[in-house]
Amino acid sequence: MYIDRIRIGWDKISPDSYLTQVPAISLLQELAFRKPVTFFVGENGSGKSTLLEAIAIAYGFNPEGGTLNYNFSTHDDYSELCEALTIVQGTAKGRRGGFFLRAESFYNVSTKAIEYERELGRPMYGDRTLHEQSHGESFLNFIRTFTRTGLFIMDEPEAALSPQRQLSLFSRIAEMVREGSQYIIVTHSPILLAMPGADIIGFDDTGIKYLEYEETESYRITEMMINHRDLMVAQLLNE
């Protein structure tokens, strides 16, 4: 494990901070990472992406994403939580690798990657630049270039991926975990959440709690739509 646990020093956060109004975060003092793959799930605004971003920045990733070597900024909009976060590193050995994905800023990461390609004088992500590929293609090709184990932090990686490509990402994550990598992922994807042996942590107004796969909203709503489509559609259309 690259990260064993995190601790939040609330004395470093203003009492007027919006963070104190997010229950799942405001009630959190410490969080241990027990498995190589940890998923954060919950409704929009529940605090899961805010915590994920703070972990990434505190670990040393560029706030807009990329590898640990990326250093650029186009817009600083991250919260103060990263300054109050203490990371207790695990016992993983070797040089640190990894990647921080923010779906909304991956275009900027791709731009930087193209600059690095030009500096190296050779293609790294296929025979087309990342901007010449679809969002899903560019993201998967970016992931496939990683040859070193490390910490991978991803915020809704399924956003640009078809179900088939989510399956490809699932396989790649499983492969890299076997090699020694650790993943922390915010997701709504019932495909990714099916990863065997993963911890699923739910964020809501009562705080955080560990969930079984079948307890997640992503699974329950998808299962209802597939198995009871007519009823669900009728309810949605008020028929």
- 201 bridge partner residues: 40, 210
Per-residue confidence (pLDDT) for residue 195, from 0 to 100: 98
DSSP 66: B
**Measured distance CA(91)–CA(157) in Å, rounded:** 27
**Measured distance CA(178)–CA(185) in Å, rounded:** 17
Domains of the chain: 3-213 (3.40.50)
Per-residue confidence (pLDDT) for residue 79, from 0 to 100: 74
**Measured distance CA(14)–CA(12) in Å, rounded:** 7
Per-residue confidence (pLDDT) for residue 97, from 0 to 100: 79
Residue range 171-200: mean pLDDT, rounded:
96
Tally of residues, the chain: 239
Torsion of CA 15, 41, 38, 219, to 10 degrees: 170
**Measured distance CA(161)–CA(156) in Å, rounded:** 10
The pTM for the full model equals 0.85
* pLDDT tens-digit series, residues 64-107: 777 776 655 545 556 789 999 999 998 876 556 788 887 655 54
